[in-house]
Structure 1
């Protein structure tokens, strides 16, 4: 294209209109992106993905089909959780509290351990509900995989398992129901932080309760995973 033709095109009376259309289209696209729930990206944090946390498991199994009524029969606890607050699953990586300063039992009341004390204005309240949550099959020696999406690293990880006799389908989870079975020192930022756990004497449905103290700030994550010791 010659310089003359280029200048004619820029100076055309229709040029401003075309640019206006492009700007409006670009702004519309940006607005749509802002409406998409952020499960990843710059604001991401993380959660236990194996054995999957309650809300990560619900998102992983149903995120692409969360309005499917078959979920009510196939995965009733997830169905109830999606109905209660869809953002609790879209934001599976944001279940944390700030400023706890290591006083986990003081900050999180019994019956609210899986929602981090109803953090996020109660967004995760459904995570506390006893019921037939889907379980991951594990052996008595297993590994917790915490996916650190934002590479926060950890001051430490604490992994508890419910005591034999606790029934997650009927009992609200309290601190007295848990036994601390694994504790780490500081972990450098890594996409996946692995913790080996030994839980002798367990059979059947249990809750694995992981506390992740992130290193980038006083941010504490409280994560419930349902397992079946087979």
Structure 2
């Protein structure tokens, strides 16, 4: 009888621990979402939605099932990003720096371009990691879309593409790896904000790097999008 009671006690403790972990996980996700809703909307605006920025893409594909073990095998780069800091995806509209004054290269070191120089205490640092990020097929000339939730406008939007020969699966992005392939002047922004891109001479997996200078403040947004140029 004592053995049965002991086994039952172990079972109850194990079940209690599992339940506690599940509750804490759910609470963590809820708090992250509340952080986005309460603080994110006041200081954040959006992201490149087509081709999607890395963190926005991970959010779109996995937010409803972000604890799924299948992500590790189906989408390892998003998996490592979620594991490093889920708030980077919940706060997909907040990858910015303030007070840069147009000196983007001075503010963001090589190797840290995708995280905006490890902005917000390194929340987005996993985006700098080279690897097999999911790509979107694009012709060399197409319209990139910026999704600005708050419609605060842009002093300018600049789009760069990696040079032919750059390998996003093994190399961290540097400014010298980029060439300007599209830009705007001062424009209004909203859910649909197209930017003409002409990335001639490129094939295969490339990184598009978008710099969005918001109009309402000296607030600069930075996005890495992975594309497969199909010609």
Higher Rg of the two aligned structures: 1
Structure 2, unaligned runs of 5 or more: 1-29
CA contact (8 A) 1:39 1:93 kept: no
Query: What residue is the counterpart of 2:34 in the other structure?
Result: 36
- Superimposed CA distance per residue, residues 123-174 of structure 1 (whole angstroms, 9 cap, x where no aligned partner): 0000000000000100011111000011110000000000000000000100
Equivalent residues, number: 199
The whole-number CA distance in structure 2 between the counterparts of 1:95 and 1:33 is: 19
Query: What residue is the counterpart of 1:88 in the other structure?
Result: 88
Q: SS where residue 158 of structure 2 aligns?
A: strand
Structure showing the higher helix proportion among its residues: 2
- 1:192 maps to 2:192: yes
- Superimposed CA distance per residue, residues 70-127 of structure 1 (whole angstroms, 9 cap, x where no aligned partner): 0000000000000000000000110000000000001100000000000000000000
Query: What residue is the counterpart of 1:127 in the other structure?
Result: 127
Query: What residue is the counterpart of 1:145 in the other structure?
Result: 145
Q: SS where residue 114 of structure 2 aligns?
A: helix
The whole-number CA distance in structure 1 between the counterparts of 2:125 and 2:71 is: 19
TM-score normalised by structure 1 residue count: 0.83
CA contact (8 A) 1:153 1:215 kept: yes
The 3 A distance-change label for structure 1 pair 39 and 165 is farther
The whole-number CA distance in structure 1 between the counterparts of 2:204 and 2:33 is: 41
> Which consecutive segments of 4 or more residues in structure 1 shift more than 3 A?
32-35, 39-42
CA contact (8 A) 2:155 2:186 kept: yes
The whole-number CA distance in structure 2 between the counterparts of 1:34 and 1:59 is: 13
CA contact (8 A) 1:39 1:92 kept: no
